[in-house]
Amino acid sequence: MVRFDEQVFKPNDIRGVYPRQLHEGFAFMLGVAVVKQFGAKRIVIGRDCRLSSPGLYAALACGIESAGGEVGAADLCPMEMIYYIMGSRNDFDFGIMVTASHNPPQYNGFKLFGQGVRPIDEREGLSRLRPLIETATAPVPDKFTFPPKNVSLETECVRFALKAAGVQDVPRLKVVVDPGNGTGGLLWGALADAAGVRPVAMNFEPDGRFPSHHPNPARLANLEPLKGRVLSEGADIGFAYDGDADRTVAVLSDGQVLDGSAMIVALVERLFAGRPSARCAVNMVTSRKTLDYLRARGQEPLMAPVGHAKIKRAMQAHPDVGFAGEQSGHYLYREFFCCESSLVTSLHLMHLVACGRLASLVREMPGPWFGPRREPEFRFVRRADALATCQEAAMAGLKEFPGPQEIMCEWNAEVHRRCKPADIAQADGVRVDYEDWWFSMRPSGTEPIARLAIEARSKTELQAKRRTLTSLFEASRTA
């Protein structure tokens, strides 16, 4: 019997600390369970560069083969390579990426996808794998054979991304790229071969220790080296990616970091120019700057829950949604199988820079709206405790600040609009909007953390509301 921490099963994927929470024995049995539970016959697998990824990847492949499945081995690759393989070909009926995305080096995990790049999360049967792994009696091998790479579509994927971005010729700009020792540099290597574009490279060598900085570009401290290099090189733009390169952050020529709200606005402007009826999806913690911009264009967005699997499903379920953006740096395109492509995102932004539009778009953003430099977090031992505290604190917040414009609640992996206060008791996440401020409370999908998102039209109001909501949160936590 394989022992592991059951908390590695998250709402969107599998994630945990190696080897305390998950390990090679777990990976082997996961491969067996996927074949049995989903009837998968041909499974493509990839991995990021974490130090634990090669061992987990080899064990996963051995588990799949021991259960009668056939492995397509993509080896070290960015996340969008698995999306491309699953979306563009009928060779495989299942895909698994060994990765912990933006988490610190000691973490690892697995992202699972069915046909049509359908994310396998708790709603699609992810949790049903747990009892199969827990009760498995088959012996786990002492050693695992690393599978030779037999899927190599990097150049083909880059050409597809160029077409998806509508780029005939890549703009000849001076671009600084910092993949943070993750897999993002592999994309630019393939782009250089396909289109002759050679960036100013920082931290391109994949290194699972992430010696340059942690693989989370949403943290401003991790972007300081990139900002400095953009300024010192006199570059037109800079890009940073997370560990598996499915999050993208951009830095302008003056060193300004584009937050998620500005990125979404810029990409909507590029994608939907001349298409007033086009529609996008955003998640529950999206800035009011973005929502105000979209509504001024007459485009009410589809609201989706936070999490890559949930926003993918929302996009796949609504054929009229051509683009989806998450404040955390995930940008999804219908032309790219309703999945993230950091390469498509980068190409779109390079086009906007080349035509002189990106900086002006940022200046024209609605506002002012102010948020904290870093989203407040509250740690728990169990995710269930984080969820319960979010519900209690949100209800306490409504009592403290009555009369909201709208309450949004997530349940059953969908966002429900115009909710009542009583609905919060069953919600997996909540957002409450007022005329001049808003807040959202939700548990993290990858860690036992509760998050408070908040914005206001003035810094004074932001600080006051943050203090009050934090105290309500702490009171709910200890109740």
**pLDDT at res. 479:** 64
If asked whether residues 81 and 164 sit together in one domain, one would say: no
CATH of the domain at 449: 3.30.310.50
Which of 87, 117, 152 is at the close of a domain?
A: 152
Element (H, E) at 415: strand 414-416
If asked whether residues 188 and 298 sit together in one domain, one would say: yes
| Closest to 359 in 3D by CA, of 273, 252, 235 | 252
State which residues form the domain around 22: 6-152
Residue 240 in any domain: the answer is yes
If asked whether residues 114 and 166 sit together in one domain, one would say: no
Residue 93 in any domain: the answer is yes
Count other C-beta atoms under 10 Å from residue 467's C-beta.
10
CATH of the domain at 184: 3.40.120.10
If asked whether residues 345 and 399 sit together in one domain, one would say: no
If asked whether residues 197 and 329 sit together in one domain, one would say: yes
Which of 336, 363, 390 is at the close of a domain?
A: 363
Catalytic residue among 52, 101, 212, 328: 101
Kindly report whether the peptide bond that precedes residue 421 is cis, defined as omega within 30 degrees of 0. no
If you ran DSSP here, which 8-state letter would residue 139 be given?
Answer: P
What's the rounded Cα separation, in Å, for the pair 220 and 121?
Answer: 29
Give the pLDDT means over successive 10-residue stretches in the chain (479 positions): 88 94 97 97 98 98 97 98 96 97 96 96 93 90 96 94 88 94 93 87 97 94 97 98 97 96 95 85 96 92 93 94 95 97 96 94 92 88 88 96 97 94 96 98 86 96 96 84
If asked whether residues 36 and 137 sit together in one domain, one would say: yes
Which of 363, 390, 415 is at the close of a domain?
A: 363
Report the domain count for the chain. 3
If asked whether residues 333 and 396 sit together in one domain, one would say: no
- Start-to-end CA distance of the chain, whole Å, equals 38
- Are 104 and 15 contacting, i.e. CB atoms less than 8 angstroms apart? no
101 as an active site residue: the answer is yes
Joined tokens for residue 387 = 């969820």
Residue 163 in any domain: the answer is yes
Residue 371 in any domain: the answer is no
Residue 372 in any domain: the answer is no
pTM: 0.94
Residue 459 contacts by C-beta under 8 Å, 6 or more apart in sequence?
A: 370
Residue 256 in any domain: the answer is yes
If asked whether residues 111 and 161 sit together in one domain, one would say: no
Residue 368 in any domain: the answer is no
If you ran DSSP here, which 8-state letter would residue 370 be given?
Answer: B
If asked whether residues 124 and 207 sit together in one domain, one would say: no
If asked whether residues 350 and 233 sit together in one domain, one would say: yes
Residue 370 in any domain: the answer is no
If asked whether residues 170 and 312 sit together in one domain, one would say: yes
If asked whether residues 10 and 36 sit together in one domain, one would say: yes
